[in-house]
Structures are given as C-alpha cells and as structure tokens.
Structure 1
Amino acid sequence: MTEMLSYDFMIRAFLAGIIIAVLAAISGSFIVLRRYSMITETLAHSALVGVAVGVIAGTSPLWIAVAAALLSAWAIEYLRSHFHLYSDSVLAIMLSGSLALAVIIVSLAGAFNSSLFSYLFGSILSVTKEDLIIMALFGVAALTLLGFFYKELYFIAYDEEVARTSGIKVELLNFLLVSIVAIIIALSIRIVGTLLIGAMMVIPTVAALRFRQGFAQTMALALLFSLLAVIVGMSSSYFFSLPSGATIVLTLLFIFIFSLVVNRR
C-alpha cells in the first residue's frame, strides 16, 4: 500500500475516486429512491455526445459534455412533468437518441481515437491537479445544495404528489436534483467512464437498501460501500494491472451480492 501511494498519479487517482464515491452515493440515494435509476445511464450517454463534439472540434470535451448532460437532464424533466410521460419511456427515448447521435457524430468525423475511448471506459490514472480542483469545488457546492434541501428532496422522493400539495416547490427541486446529477456524471465520465458511472450511482444504494434501515442510515451505508469499492478496486487495479473503473464496479457487484446473501430473508 505504501509503495502504491508513493506515486503522485496514484494519490490523485485515489482522491478523484473518493470524491466521485461521495458525490455518486449521496446523489444516487435520491435517484434510486425515486425509481429513476436509468437517468444515470441516459445522462452518461448524453454527455458522450458532448465529448464527441469536443473531440471533433479539437477543444476540451469536459465543458461541452457538462452542457450536453444538463440540456438532456432538463429535457427529460420537462417532458416528464409537462407532458405527463412515464419516466422509463422518456429515459429510453433520450438514451437511445443520445447514443445514436454520438455514434453518428463520431462516425461522420472518423474521430474514434484513444481520447474518446477513455471516456467510454474511464482513465482515472490520468487525473490532473486541475481535474481534482474542479471536482472538489463542484463537490462542495453539490453537497451543500443537497444538504440544504435534504428534507424536501426526501419528501419528493417518498411521495411527489403529497409534497406538491404540501407547498414544496417540487418542479424547481426536481430540476435542481437532475442538474446536480448531470454535472456529477459529466465530470466523472473521464474518470470512471460512460459505461460505468451509472453503476457507481446505483449499486451502492441498492445494496444499502437491502439492510432496511432509515434513509439517513441507508445513505451512510451507500457511502461506505462506495468508498470501500474505490479503495479495494483501485488497490486491486494497481497490484493486478487491471482497468481501474471496471475493477471498482466489479467490487460494487460483489458488495451487492454480499448484501443479498446477508439479507436473503
């Protein structure tokens, strides 16, 4: 362990993983409770459209990916709330549409290269100090907003209609939540990968729910599982020369299986 942390890039990778683990577990708790889990995959594929545009334009794909994910999140929430469409239908439409658009953009430009490949599967070992600063600043802002509106967001997740009749600004808070999730995903896909970030947000919470505790305890358990997966996954990745993002997600799957076995009744 000491040898592993003697490298600066490993320290940066661990810090990035920890930041993502915290943000994904806490925001994911609200998403899973609302049965809105597939929004993570949808927004990840929407962010991939921004990445493709950024790669083709020769600019930094990060902020274009953030913009694409935000626009997709707002479109999803607008269609769901104003046209009264089923959530899973809206997510399926946006996911397939975003993926198709990303594939077409990349295909037309012939831009499928190692840079774009890293956004699909993640490249946590390439994290820079600037990446860490951006992630940390946004992480603090996101956690502050989630903490400030914690009760309202939990109430909405529990029963949106009752929350609306109670005077809570449901629509505004829904847009706030999906915006936070969209930015977390867009900032994380280069670290964990488009194909894996959804698992970071969903699996820890689903595993924690198996222990049938209160919401705060479930969120704490999800955070613990997420941090454990990052530590074990990153360590295994280093010692066995495995892909970091995939190893972290595989560790989460083992934790989920453990939660099923322990709570099989």
Structure 2
Amino acid sequence: MDNLFEKIIFYFQFPFVQYAFIVGILIALCSSLLGVTLVLKRFSFIGDGLSHVAFGALAVSGVLRLTNDMLVVLPVTILSAVLLLSTGKNAKIKGDAAIAMISVGALAIGYLLMNIFSTSSNLSGDVCSTLFGSTSILSLSKAEVWLCIILSIVVLLVYILFYNKIFSVTFDENFARATGIKAGAYNLLIAVIIAVIIVLAMNLVGSLLISALVIFPALSSMRVFKSFRSVTVCSACLSVTCASLGILVSILAGTPVGSTIVAVDIFAFIVFYFIGLIKKVGI
C-alpha cells in the first residue's frame, strides 16, 4: 500500500498528470449537471449525435491542417445543437430520427474525409484515439487546460444562474410557458451547453463514449434519490469521483483513459442500483 501511494505521489509531480486531473474533474462536473436534465427530458442520445458531429468537424479541421481544432469543432457542434433542436420539433422528422440522421451522417463523412485526405501514417490509430479516447488527455498544453477551465466556469455559472428555469423546463414545458418562461430559449441554452461539454470531453473519453459520461452519473443517482436537487448534487459528486478514479487507474495500470472512466461509471451504477433495491425493500 505504501508503494502505491509513493507511486501516486511520484506521478503527481508531473504537470501533465495535474493537467489531466484538472480537466477531467471539470468535464465530469459539467457533464453530470446537464445529464440529469437530458435523462428526464428523454433526450439522452443528443450526446451521441453531437459527439459524432464533433468527430466530423475534427476531421475537417485535420484536412484544413488547422493548428487549433476548436476554431472549427466548437462552432460546428454548437450550430448542430441548434439545428438538432429545431429539426427535432419538426413533425416530419422527430427528435430520435434527427439525432440518428445527424449522428450517422457526421460520423461517416468525418471518416471518409480522414481517409481521402489522410495526413498521418497511422490513420487507424488516429481514428481509434478520437473515437474511444487515448493518451491525448495526458498530453494537454497549458493553453488547452486554461480554455477548458474558462469554458467550464461559463457552463457552471450559466447553470447556477438559470437553475430555476432549467428545472421548470425539464419537468413541464407547458406549465413553464404558461408562467411566462421562454421554454424554447432555455431548451436552446441546454443544447448549446451540452455542445460545449461534448467538445471539451472529446480529449477525455473520445467521441463514442461521451454519452456515458453524461448519462451514467444521473442514472446512478436516480436509483437512490428522488428530488431534482438531490439527484443533481449526487450526480455531480459521483461523476467527479468516477472520473478521478478512472484517470488514476488508467495512469497506474496503463489502460485507456476514456474506457477506464466509463468502466468505473458502470461499476458505480451497479453499486447504486443495489443500494436502491435495498432502500426500496427497507432492509
């Protein structure tokens, strides 16, 4: 046990490990807050759709050989979130169909562009790293860390300032509209925040695993708690804990960061599921 703590202390002396923990904790915290709303609104798969859009945008930025991927990825993902919300309300194209259409289309076009305009000798490795996450979280620059910190602070402030409105829109849009709340505008705000979180999370868990980071903490918390605030607080604490443990295990065991974090989230869900069962039967 002493050797394990010494090993952890040794690794934490390196800036890239400190950066990984800072970014991982911030992304996990932001993801968990909106995850509760998405689950309750039955719009969980918006994370999948937007993550695939981000993958396609990343492929375009690679083709254009831009030094800063965010210049393309962030605006495109936010725009797609807006289009996804408006298209999902169209009677001819329902929300789930719109998500599937955008998701599959962006993923296919992104992979096609990466093949046609490949600038790397290890295309399979680049694609796998982008989809499932790899060591990119351990090679963050100080500028990327600060960008993540700034965007995370913006997301947290927006969520705190508009908490009551988001709560109202989450549970009953019609009632919210009747009380004078612009439900459409707040739905749009939620979609834009999720888009920002998706872009931030790509380096952490990869585009295919982002939904797990958003959904699992919320689902786990709902097994035990019932009120919106309790579920949100528990989801945030659980998400940060799972992300920290996942990053720590991946560094010590040499496993992929994204997959390890998701595995910890799954284990936490199983634990909370049984806690919920025990609480339900009153043992």
Structure 1 length normalisation: TM-score? 0.94
Residue from 50, 57, 66 that aligns with 2:57: 50
Task: Please name the residue that 1:185 is paired with.
Answer: 198
Matches within 5 A, 1:131-210: 131-210=144-223
Task: Please name the residue that 2:101 is paired with.
Answer: 93
Q: Distance in 2 between matches of 1:231 and 1:257?
A: 18
Deviates more, 1:36-45 or 1:72-81: 72-81
Q: CA deviation at 1:83?
A: 4.1
Q: CA 1:84 to 1:146, structure 2 compared with 1: closer, same or farther past 3 Å?
A: farther
- Give the secondary structure class of the aligned counterpart of 2:9: coil
> Are 2:88 and 2:96, in contact at CA under 8 Å, matched by a contact in 1?
no
Q: CA deviation at 1:94?
A: 1.5
Q: Distance in 1 between matches of 2:33 and 2:14?
A: 29
C-alpha deviations, 1:24-73, integer Å up to 9, x for none? 11121221221111000100000011100011111022221112211211
Q: Distance in 1 between matches of 2:17 and 2:90?
A: 46
Q: CA 1:144 to 1:162, structure 2 compared with 1: closer, same or farther past 3 Å?
A: same
* Runs of 5+ unmatched residues, structure 1: none
Task: Point out the structure with max Rg over C-alpha.
Answer: 2
Q: Distance in 2 between matches of 1:199 and 1:218?
A: 17
Task: Please name the residue that 2:231 is paired with.
Answer: 218
* Code of the aligned partner of 1:67: P
Residue from 71, 77, 86 that aligns with 1:78: 86
Q: CA 1:89 to 1:82, structure 2 compared with 1: closer, same or farther past 3 Å?
A: closer
* Code of the aligned partner of 2:147: I
Deviates more, 1:254-263 or 1:187-196: 187-196
- Give the secondary structure class of the aligned counterpart of 1:144: helix
Q: CA deviation at 1:145?
A: 1.0
Task: Please name the residue that 2:272 is paired with.
Answer: 259
* Code of the aligned partner of 1:6: Q
Q: Distance in 2 between matches of 1:137 and 1:200?
A: 20
Structure 2 length normalisation: TM-score? 0.89
Alignment of 1:35 with 2:42, yes or no, is yes
Q: CA 1:44 to 1:227, structure 2 compared with 1: closer, same or farther past 3 Å?
A: same
* Runs of 5+ unmatched residues, structure 2: 1-7
> Are 2:89 and 2:95, in contact at CA under 8 Å, matched by a contact in 1?
no
> Are 1:51 and 1:61, in contact at CA under 8 Å, matched by a contact in 2?
yes
Task: Please name the residue that 1:107 is paired with.
Answer: 115
> Are 1:124 and 1:245, in contact at CA under 8 Å, matched by a contact in 2?
no
Alignment of 1:69 with 2:77, yes or no, is yes
Task: Please name the residue that 2:5 is paired with.
Answer: none
Q: How many corresponding residue pairs?
A: 265
> Are 2:132 and 2:208, in contact at CA under 8 Å, matched by a contact in 1?
yes
Q: Distance in 1 between matches of 2:225 and 2:208?
A: 29
Alignment of 1:17 with 2:24, yes or no, is yes
Q: Distance in 2 between matches of 1:254 and 1:56?
A: 39
Alignment of 1:119 with 2:134, yes or no, is no
* Code of the aligned partner of 1:94: I
Deviates more, 1:153-162 or 1:82-91: 82-91
**Root-mean-square deviation (CA), in Å?**
1.6
> Are 2:221 and 2:234, in contact at CA under 8 Å, matched by a contact in 1?
yes
